[in-house]
Structure 1
């Protein structure tokens, strides 16, 4: 599972994450929501060992990400701004990622097929559409067959068919007993994909619970989300 407790992260002396805590459980998709600048990406960067916390802990399977010997075999991640070198082919990128974590090369063709890029495997990444680039990033996250998936805005650039495919992928992984943490601005999709929700605003968690609990009394997740933000605004 993912366990985040009393997490604080500062940039330039300002706390962008303050005492954040939540758990993402195996067998469930946890939606991580918040407006731009709320602290979602900072939280995920600490979780994935890209930044160090000023206080608190962020653990995967009971340890810090940096303590994992072969991290891709435990955690697969898709982050905004991360991607393949544009001069490489899709297959070459995935082969390099696989070698870095001791993953068999045969796994490369398996994940290319899973994400629907088998026919584009030998094309340069610079020729990929935005949606194809997202599929390649998801393929890299799946390479190690990880027990945990962390995805930051994985739906960007995907057409309706691609969005539906991601939804099925995440639900299937959760059904297999894996932990899925999904950060997205596509509220309607989070509403039908996530079992649990964590909402963060101004660096602090404002609510957490099952999707039905968070949306209770509201017509939609979007309505519930904005009601929570309005409640947090100073009078």
Structure 2
């Protein structure tokens, strides 16, 4: 389980996260929704040990990410694209990630096949399209066969076929008992995939619950989203 407990983050006099608390549970797809600048990326970065909170905690299976012995075997993530150097091939990039985390090299070919890049593994990342870069980022996230996936805008740059593919992959991961936490601006995709929703605005959680609970009394998820967030841009990213 991914647990966020009263997270506080400040940048100067500005409060970016104001006692943010929620959980993403095994066997469920949890969608983290909010306007640009609401605090989604800051929350995920703290979870993954890329930033520090000024208060509260974010735990992966009861432990801080930085204390995990084999982090890529526990949680795989996409935050800022593939993270690969443009001059490297996809295969070389994944081989380095696998080697640095004690993951068998055979997993490189397996994940390239899994994300549809088997024929492009020898191509330099600088020649990849945005969608191919997203697939490569997901391949890196899957290398360690992690229990949890944390994905920031995972369908960015994907064509309709790619969006359908990733929807199926994430659904299967959750149905097999894994945890999926994703952020997205695509309300239609979220409505068709998520079990649970967490809505943030201005650095504060404004609503959590199942899809049915969050949208109750509204015409659908989009109407609920704008009503709950006020259509604003939030306080900070």
Query: TM range, normalised to the smaller chain?
Result: over 0.9
Q: Is the 8 A contact 2:17 2:43 kept in 1?
A: yes
104 and 198 in structure 1: CA distance in 2 versus 1, 3 angstrom threshold: same
**How far 1:82 moved relative to its partner?**
5.2
How big is each residue's C-alpha offset from its partner over 1:130-172, in whole Å with a ceiling of 9 and x where there is no partner?
0000000000000000000000001110000000011001000
Misfit runs of 4+, over 6 Å: none
Q: Is the 8 A contact 2:75 2:146 kept in 1?
A: yes
Aligned residues: 233
**How far 1:69 moved relative to its partner?**
1.3
Query: Could you tell me which residue of structure 2 aligns to residue 158 of structure 1?
Result: 158
How big is each residue's C-alpha offset from its partner over 1:8-35, in whole Å with a ceiling of 9 and x where there is no partner?
0111232100100001000000000000
Higher RCO (CA 8 Å, separation ≥ 6 residues) = 2
In 2, Cα distance between the equivalents of 1:63 and 1:226?
Answer: 34
In 2, Cα distance between the equivalents of 1:153 and 1:97?
Answer: 22
Q: Alignment partner of 1:219: what SS? A: coil
Query: Could you tell me which residue of structure 2 aligns to residue 18 of structure 1?
Result: 18
**How far 1:230 moved relative to its partner?**
2.6
Query: Could you tell me which residue of structure 2 aligns to residue 144 of structure 1?
Result: 144
- The residue correspondences of 1:40-59 to structure 2 (distance < 5 A) are 40-59=40-59
Query: Could you tell me which residue of structure 2 aligns to residue 72 of structure 1?
Result: 72
Q: Is the 8 A contact 1:78 1:141 kept in 2?
A: yes
Q: Is the 8 A contact 1:3 1:62 kept in 2?
A: yes
Query: Could you tell me which residue of structure 2 aligns to residue 89 of structure 1?
Result: 89
In 1, Cα distance between the equivalents of 2:232 and 2:56?
Answer: 24
Normalised by the size of structure 1, how large is the TM-score?
0.97
In 2, Cα distance between the equivalents of 1:148 and 1:49?
Answer: 15
215 and 86 in structure 1: CA distance in 2 versus 1, 3 angstrom threshold: same
Normalised by the size of structure 2, how large is the TM-score?
0.96
In 1, Cα distance between the equivalents of 2:76 and 2:13?
Answer: 31
**How far 1:80 moved relative to its partner?**
2.6
In 1, Cα distance between the equivalents of 2:44 and 2:182?
Answer: 10
In 1, Cα distance between the equivalents of 2:12 and 2:80?
Answer: 22
**How far 1:232 moved relative to its partner?**
8.8
Residue ranges of structure 1 left out of the alignment (5+ in a row): none
**How far 1:73 moved relative to its partner?**
0.4
Query: Could you tell me which residue of structure 2 aligns to residue 104 of structure 1?
Result: 104
Q: Is the 8 A contact 1:5 1:58 kept in 2?
A: yes
Q: Is the 8 A contact 1:80 1:153 kept in 2?
A: no
How big is each residue's C-alpha offset from its partner over 1:63-97, in whole Å with a ceiling of 9 and x where there is no partner?
00000111100000000355210000000000011
In 2, Cα distance between the equivalents of 1:182 and 1:124?
Answer: 28
Q: Is the 8 A contact 2:196 2:209 kept in 1?
A: yes
Query: Could you tell me which residue of structure 2 aligns to residue 223 of structure 1?
Result: 223
Q: Alignment partner of 1:209: what SS? A: strand
182 and 51 in structure 1: CA distance in 2 versus 1, 3 angstrom threshold: same
In 2, Cα distance between the equivalents of 1:178 and 1:93?
Answer: 25
Q: Alignment partner of 1:182: what SS? A: strand
